[in-house]
Each structure stands twice: as C-alpha cells, then as structure tokens.
Structure 1
Amino acid sequence: MKLTLRDIHLPLRHPFTIALGTTTLQHNLLVELEHEGATGYGEGASSHAWHLYTAESMRASLEAARPVIEAGGFSTPEELWNRVYPVLGENPFALCALDQAAHDLWGKQKGAPVWKLWGLSLENLPLSDYTIGIDTIEKMVMKMKEFDGWPIYKIKLGTEDDLAIVRELRKHTGAIFRIDANTAWSADQTLAFAPEMKALGVEFFEQPLPRDDWEGMRKVKGSCVLPVFADESCQTEEDVAKCAGIFDGINIKLTKAGGLVPARRMIAEARKLGLKVMVGCMTESSVGISAIAQLLPLLDHVDMDGAVLISKDIADGVRLDHGRAVFPETNGNGVTLLDA
C-alpha cells in the first residue's frame, strides 16, 4: 500500500468568524491511499482553535506512521484503524484523514459506496444547514441571502448583539435556525436567550457554554426551553457517556473523534443513552464532506456545508442542493479529484 500526502489550500467565500477566531484561507492535508490499482482519498482539516492539529503536524504524524501504514493492505477500514491507532492515536486529525482514505479505498475495491457496504439506505436523510459566520448584522443578512432558500441556517453567535442578529435574520427568511455560540455564553445568558430565540424559530443551541462547565450545563438542562447539543464537550468516544443527562444530543466531528470508525461507535453509544446525534464538519473540501455523508442514514441532524463555504473545491463528491445531499454514481465515499 502506498501513502501520498499533499497540502491543499482552500480559499473561503467570505472571512469565516466564530467566537474562537477568523479564517480566510483553509490549509488542509489530502491523504491518498493506493493499493492494487485503486486510490482512496481522505482529508485532514486544520483548525485555528486546535493549534496542535495543523496540516504540518498531521503530515509529521502520518510520516512517522508510514512504515505501519504501508506494511500491508487491509480487509476492512477497522483493521487498518486498529493497526495504526497505537502510533496515530495522539493526533486524531491525522488518524481521521487516513481513516477517510481507507473507507474510500475499501469501497472502491469492493465496488460499492460505503453507506451501502454498511447496509444503510439513502431514504429520509436529514438536511444540512448552511452556516452564517459572525460579522456585522448587515453582512450576515447578505451572507444568508447569497444562499437564499436553504431550509436551515446555522448562525454563529458570541457577540454583544446576539439577539439583534437573530431578530434581523428572521425578517428575511422563514427557515429553521440553529444557534452555535462556540462556548461563548454563560448558563444565565443561555437561559435568558432561549425563550425569545425559540419564538424566533430556533431549533436548538449548540455548545453555548465552555466545554468543561458541566455544572452550568446541568443548570441549563434543568430549565432551558430549547434542546442543547454538545460539540466541544463531546470530542472522543469517552465523552459520549459524560453528555448523557446533561445535553440533549451530541455533535460529532470526525476530525476530533479520529475518523468514521470511532464516529460509528459514538453514534451507537449515543443511541443507547437516549441522545440525539448530529455530525458536523470543519472547513473542508468535498473529500471530507463526502466521508461525512456516508453517515447520513444514522443521523438526526447534520452540518456538512464545509465545501459550500469555500470558493474553489478540489474534488467532486457528495454535494448539497439547498441542504439536500446528492450522491454521485461513484464507489467508496464518492470522491473524484478534479485534477486527477
């Protein structure tokens, strides 16, 4: 098996701001796994909020693991994941990129999409939201109108004008709103905002409080009129059980979890514990988004608009048509590089 690593730079349509920082150019890592004439693709999405996991650190981790990765093929992606975890487990972003490539390669070798190999169906899939990053109110309205007609918008908040932003955006659409404060609120703020935001058509809050403020979240869970989903508080498999009884649901990020293999285990555990399940994306190309799409039949909600937020993609794959996932007639994760 041959491992190839390539840096990719993804320009954004607009500067993308959340409570944790601003991005204008996304620097990710493309992972290619070639074996017996087939090639699978995965993507490691760097994050300004996760300084340990840059494209450079992912490359270094994967290069260190190259002898283990290239030691032989695999019969299932789980087999490769288990083989490399001892040397890649401390860099889940790199592990995720490799795992995505393994699933894409596996499906192409088997001659079927990954979702079909898992025994899933594409009926009644959840719709994706489109994310509006923090900006002036006027620019946030403009960003929403640029993608008019989407059924759901995720609104990034964490400003002094959070209620004013939602009030103004509501004037311009009848779509569902989801609010992501990215840890910027307190428990009291969350409880104070919730009644009016519910009246303004907000479906749920995502990670309003700091990730370790479990006491604050218990207070919110006891009184909040809106459901609350964990994001920063639920990063790994071990975090799922901690969220039960404190959050209404979890938002799984493949990069933080370490790929599709652990994400499926997290989904199963969440179901056992009565938690709703969402999968979210980073700012990434259609390579990473297509991997997320394989999980759609297992989800209640999804945020997979990363490739819509960039102005130039590097691949064809699963795409969004006003929130609806459109799957290509391609095996694996459905990825075809545009320059291949």
Structure 2
Amino acid sequence: MELILRAYNLKLKHTFTISRESIDFQPSLIVELQSDGYSGFGEATSNPYYKTTVPVMMQDLEKIRSVIETKTNETPEEFWAAIHPYLKNNMFALCALDMAFTDLYARKKEKKLYQLWNYTTDKNPLTDYTIGIASIEKMVAKMKELPWPIYKIKLGTKEDIAIVTELRKHTDAVFRIDANCGWGVAETINNAVELKKLGVEFLEQPMKANNWEEHKEVFKHSVLPIIADESCIIEEDVAKCHNHFHGINVKLVKCGGLTPGRRMIQEAKKLGLKTMVGCMTESTVGISAIAHLLPQLDYVDMDGALLLSEDIATGITIDFGKISYSDLNGTGVTLM
C-alpha cells in the first residue's frame, strides 16, 4: 500500500467568522492510500483551537509511513487499532488516514460505505447551511444568497437576539444556533427562551467545554435542547455528556475518523442522546465520508464544501439540504 499526502489551502466564498476567529482560507490535508489498483481518500483540516496544522499532520504521518504501508489486509477497525498508538496525539491526522483506509477497504469490496455498514438511506436527515458571524445586513445577504430549509447561525456577540430576530423576518427555515462557547449559564438559559420563540431547534455548545456543573445547570433549565460539540471530542467524552447535554455533535477530525465516530454514535444512542455529525470546513472529500453516516443521525452539519469558492473533488452532491450519493463505491470521491 502506498501513502500519498497532498496539502491544499481551500479558499472560502466569504470570510467565515465564529465567536473566536475569522478565516478566508482553510488549510487542508488530503490522504490517499493506493493498493491493488484502488485508491481511498481521507481529509482533515487545520484548526487553531485544537492546535493542529497541516505541516504537523504531514510530519506525523511521514514518521510512520513504513508502518502504514505494511497494513494492507486489515479491516478498518483493525487498522485503526494498530495505528492509534502512533497517532494518539494527533487525532486529525488519524482521521484523514482512517477515512482513506475505510474508503479503500469499501472500494475493494465493491460497495459504497453505507452498504458496507448495512445502513439504509431512505430516512437521511437534511444538512443545514451555516451563516457565520457578520453584520446583520451581511448575515441576511448570505441567507438570501442561498435559500435553504435549515440554517445554522453562528452567534456569540452582544447582538445575538437582535440578529436572529432580523434573520427570522426573511425566512421560515429552521434555525439552529451555535455559540461556540461564547455564553454563560444565565445568558444561555435566558437566550433559549427568546430563541425558542424565534423558531430555533436547538443550541450547540453555548458554554465553555469543561464547565460540567454549569452544563448540568443549563441542561436542567433550558427550554431548548443543548448539543455538545467542544465538550465531546473523543469516545470517552460521550458518557460524560449524558445528563449534561441532550445530544452530541461528533466531529470526525477530533475523534480520529469514521471508525471511532461510528462507535461514538452508537454509544450516544444507547444513552438516549441525539446524534449529530458536524464538519470542519472540509472539501467534498471529507463531506462525502460524513454522508455515509447519515442513516445513523438525527441532525447533520455537512455544508463545508458549499462554503468554498472552489472545490478540489467530486463526490456527494447537495440540493436544498438533501444529499445524493456518487455512483462510485467507497465514499464516492474523485480528486479533480
């Protein structure tokens, strides 16, 4: 098996702002694994909050190239278990590698990923489309630019209620709110009351990640469901979220790929938590992998490729929130 690494700097259509940063470009690593005439593809983007860069991911993968390239006949679960000890401090790199190996494995089996996992796709949820923080006028303009059934609105400003009040005047779409750790307990509880009146479905990670007593207080008193994101990074975090959140948002890059991501989803279901998978502004490579998890999800945020001014791959397509799969096996991805 041959390992191929490619670095990209994905240009966004608009400056993308959340409560802690603004970006115009998204650095991304594409991992390709070649074996027996097949190729599998995986992706992980950089993220300053998690102190992860593309050069470091490439460096860590190069260090274990000889180990990776000897692992040809394992299942994805066996491959992940064998590689995890080498990359336990770089889950982003592990994600891209796991995604590529799982894609390769499915292509060799001549199956799409959801077929490999015996999932049925007839009840797939729709994806939301994200509106980053900007002036109210710009946020309204972004929304009008792409009419959509569900919007995920980034908040964490002093004008949060005013923003949603104005956006509501221009659409009947479902709203989801992501404050990216930008609120406190009282602010979250009070905002939930007003936001519920404005047609908001749930709040995602309104407070800082590790304030568990505060999360429990909000869990008890919020009139809207609370979904964990920054508080739910790896598999061990799922149990912690029980009775502190109403659901979890699994990010494949944070947990180490599709293999642990699927385990997190199953654990969440056992605990009665709602399940969601989110993206980290990946290209169609990463987004197409997420699409095969849809049958297991209540919600999904997989609009990353839609935010790009230019994509680097073909795979799944999205029309008004609905995902259509490629005719190709595996994740269905082809690099342009």
TM-score bracket for the superposition, by shorter chain length = over 0.9
Provide the rounded CA distance (Å) in 2 between the counterparts of 1:74 and 1:145: 49
Residue deviations 1:184-210, cap 9 Å, x none? 000100011111100100000000010
Q: Does 1:248 align with 2:256?
A: no
Mapping of residues 175-214 of structure 1, within 5 Å? 175-214=173-212
Provide the rounded CA distance (Å) in 1 between the counterparts of 2:278 and 2:255: 11
The match for 2:260 among 244, 259, 262 is 262
Residue deviations 1:128-155, cap 9 Å, x none? 000000000000001111111x110000
Number of aligned residue pairs: 336
- Between 1:8-17 and 1:64-73, the stretch displaced more is 64-73
Residue deviations 1:294-333, cap 9 Å, x none? 1000000000000000010000011211110111101001
Structure 1 residue 74: Cα displacement? 2.5
Residue deviations 1:83-121, cap 9 Å, x none? 111111210000000011011111111111011010011
- Which residue number corresponds to residue 16 of structure 1? 16
Task: Give the aligned residue type for 2:135.
Answer: T
Aligned-residue identity in percent: 55
Provide the rounded CA distance (Å) in 1 between the counterparts of 2:259 and 2:241: 20
Structure 1 residue 30: Cα displacement? 0.7
Aligned residue for 1:106, secondary structure, equals helix
Structure 1 residue 292: Cα displacement? 0.6
Aligned residue for 2:190, secondary structure, equals helix
Residue deviations 1:254-298, cap 9 Å, x none? 000000000111011111111010000001100000111110000
1:88–1:95 CA contact under 8 A, matched in 2: yes
- Which residue number corresponds to residue 95 of structure 1? 94
- Which residue number corresponds to residue 118 of structure 2? 119
- Which residue number corresponds to residue 74 of structure 1? 73
Provide the rounded CA distance (Å) in 1 between the counterparts of 2:82 and 2:20: 34
Q: Does 1:49 align with 2:31?
A: no
Provide the rounded CA distance (Å) in 2 between the counterparts of 1:324 and 1:50: 30
2:284–2:311 CA contact under 8 A, matched in 1: yes
Provide the rounded CA distance (Å) in 2 between the counterparts of 1:21 and 1:129: 21
Mapping of residues 287-306 of structure 1, within 5 Å? 287-306=285-304
Structure 1 residue 38: Cα displacement? 0.4
Unaligned 5+ segments in structure 2 are: none
- Which residue number corresponds to residue 32 of structure 2? 32
Provide the rounded CA distance (Å) in 2 between the counterparts of 1:240 and 1:107: 27
- Which residue number corresponds to residue 5 of structure 1? 5
Provide the rounded CA distance (Å) in 2 between the counterparts of 1:209 and 1:143: 26
Mapping of residues 231-246 of structure 1, within 5 Å? 231-246=229-244
1:21–1:48 CA contact under 8 A, matched in 2: no
- Between 1:79-88 and 1:244-253, the stretch displaced more is 79-88
Aligned residue for 2:56, secondary structure, equals helix
Aligned residue for 1:111, secondary structure, equals coil
Structure 1 residue 216: Cα displacement? 1.0
1:237–1:266 CA contact under 8 A, matched in 2: yes
Q: Does 1:167 align with 2:165?
A: yes
* TM superposition outliers: structure 1 runs of 4+ over 6 Å: none
Provide the rounded CA distance (Å) in 1 between the counterparts of 2:71 and 2:297: 33
Residue deviations 1:162-203, cap 9 Å, x none? 000000000000000000000000010001111110010000
Provide the rounded CA distance (Å) in 1 between the counterparts of 2:141 and 2:128: 16
Task: Give the aligned residue type for 1:287.
Answer: V
Unaligned 5+ segments in structure 1 are: none
